[in-house]
Amino acid sequence: MKIQNARVIVTCPGRNFVTLKIETDQGVYGIGDATLNGRELSVVAYLEEHVLPCLIGMDPRRIEDIWQYLYRGAYWRRGPVTMSAVSAVDTALWDIKGKMAGMPLYQLLGGRSRESVMVYGHANGADIEETIDAVGSYIAMGYRAIRAQTGIPGIKDAYGVGRGTLFYEPADGTLPSNTVWDTHKYLTHVPKLFEKLRTTYGFDYHLLHDGHHRMTPIEAAQLGKALEPYRLFWLEDATPAENQEAFRLIRQHTTTPLAVGEIFNTIWDAKDLIQNQLIDYIRTTVVRAGGITHLRRIADLAALYQVRTGSHGATDLSPITMGAALHFDTWVPNFGIQEYMRHTEETDAVFPHDYRFEAGALLCGETPGHGVDIDENLAAKYPYKPAYLPVARLEDGTMWNW
Ligand code: KDG
Ligand code: MG
């Protein structure tokens, strides 16, 4: 069996998605997500110029060997562009293997460990009252876990707020838009949100919050401590993790569970965090961290230290990543939760899939492979549109982390 053809499809049904399609000489094909928000065309070039020519003629059944070939063989390892490309190849190859075996991906991984995959949705509002209402609407939709973000008085365009509640989408504009940040104002305001949420809805629902890398370790420690009475499911991306040791300081001061990893590319980004038990949830996912093959390694290491998974699932990860992640989640023994930001109807139409939402959970289907396809005719109707993520500056103009 051989890889006969491999090509990249770029489409923008409301937002950009990059998809890799690998076709075999036996008529079976597989697809993988290669979307890197705001930097999409860099992965297209990496695939088209450097990866796809090497794949032609290879045996698509040799998933592990092809992974090692792309990772070690490039000499230049890791990084979001390289690893998004490797992820797309890996996901497409697992899709092919599932189709050839006539099995859904979770069966190939070792079978079902749970009946459904608990997900969390994104509730946000311009102020606390609006966020309270938004959380209420997620509860009404059946969610059992909800991430809550609110506008902060005196801060223009705080992270996680604005432009619609169900389909919040930060990327836009042919150049990055400017937002302003002030951690002091944020730290004063956020505990009030969670106090109000618990007094309004009680403790039967899981609440989550994303700090989006804005705080220093000691500021994150202060927030974690202030939020302890409200028993969060997790505080996410409390501080940047290039220095994995930074999380030790947060950990020493608070019992609020910590999650990190949506921008990690490999197991090496998470190794110290996991081995020193500095986090509770690892948020790497299929498209960003080397596909199913590498994600499994990260999850297995995490399991040794009682760290559970909590895969990233924002709208910039295509339905292909969501479909593959759900098979992974259905199998992985140390599952924690799956993020689920809904895609728009336009996106869902371009990527027909068999997963479905039910009672606060997603259920993967039984279609062989990962269960997601691409309608290429429809995809062709939505040409690529440049769109950047915003940047953030402090009030005095200093560049900060968006
Ligand atoms: O492309 C960036 C988004 O994926 C990110 O901002 C979303 O932080 C995010 C989350 O937790 O979903
Ligand atoms: Mg996040």
Mean pLDDT, rounded, of the chain: 97
Please tell me if the CB atom of residue 90 comes closer than 6 angstroms to any atom of ligand 1.
no
- Alpha-carbon distance of 294 to 286, in angstroms, equals 8
Query: Could you tell me how far CA 183 lies from the centroid of its own chain?
Result: 24
Which residue has the least CA distance to atom 9 on ligand 1? Answer: 314
Q: Whose CA is nearest to atom 12 of ligand 1?
A: 314
Q: Cα(321) to centroid of ligand 2, in Å? A: 16
The structural domains of the chain, ordered by start, are: 3-104 (3.30.390.10), 109-368 (3.20.20.120)
Of 353, 361, 345, which Cα lies nearest the Cα of 105?
A: 353
Residues in contact with 251: Cβ distance below 8 Å, sequence separation at least 6, in sequence order:
258, 278
Distances (CA, A) of 324 to 239, 331, 352, 396: 28, 11, 13, 43
**Cβ–Cβ under 8 Å, residues 402 and 392:** yes
By most ligand atoms within 8 Å of CB, the mutation choice from 161, 168, 210 for ligand 1 is: 210
Measuring from atom 1 of ligand 1, which residue has the nearest CA? 37
Q: What is the pLDDT of residues 290-340, one digit of tens each?
A: 999 999 999 999 999 999 999 999 999 999 999 999 999 999 999 999 999
Alpha helices in 202-266 (DSSP H): 217-227, 246-253
What is the H or E stretch that residue 363 is in? strand 361-363
User: How far, in Å, CA of 340 to CA of 224, rounded?
Assistant: 24
pLDDT of residue 165: 57
> For residue 11, is pLDDT > 80?
yes
Q: Please report the pLDDT score of residue 3 as a whole number.
A: 98
Q: pLDDT > 90: what percent of the chain?
A: 95
> Encoding tokens for residue 286?
């299929």
pLDDT, position 371: 98
pLDDT digits (tens, 9 = 90+) for 41-86: 999 999 999 999 999 999 999 999 999 999 999 999 999 999 999 9
- C-alpha 281/C-alpha 302 separation (Å) is 9
- The secondary structure of residue 229, as a DSSP letter, is G
Per residue in 212-239, pLDDT (tens digit) is 999 999 999 999 999 999 999 999 999 9
Triad 359, 365, 370: Cα angle to 5°: 125
Tokens linked to 196:
């109000």
Q: What digits encode the pLDDT tens for the residues 90-146?
A: 999 999 999 999 999 999 999 999 999 999 999 999 999 999 999 999 999 999 999
Q: 210: Cβ below 6 Å to ligand 1?
A: yes
pLDDT band at 164 (very low <50, low <70, confident <90, very high): low
Q: What is the DSSP secondary structure assignment for residue 280, as one 8-state letter?
A: S
pLDDT value at 38 more than 90: yes
From 138, 159, 168, 281, active-site residue:
159
Residue 37, Cβ neighbours under 10 Å: how many? 19
> What integer pLDDT is reported at residue 5 of this predicted model?
98
The best mutation among 234, 312, 343, 388 to test binding of ligand 1, ranked by most ligand atoms within 8 Å of the C-beta, falls on 312
Residue with tokens 């690998």: 22
User: Is the CB–ligand 1 distance for residue 378 below 6 Å?
Assistant: no
Atom of ligand 1 at shortest range from CA of 314: 12
The pLDDT tens digits of the residues spanning 332-385 come to 999 999 999 999 999 999 999 999 999 999 999 999 999 999 999 999 999 999
Quote the pLDDT of residue 168. 73
Residue 167 is predicted with a pLDDT of 67
Compute the distance between CA of residue 156 and CA of residue 142 in angstroms, rounded to an integer.
Answer: 32
Degrees, nearest 5: CA angle 339-342-346: 145
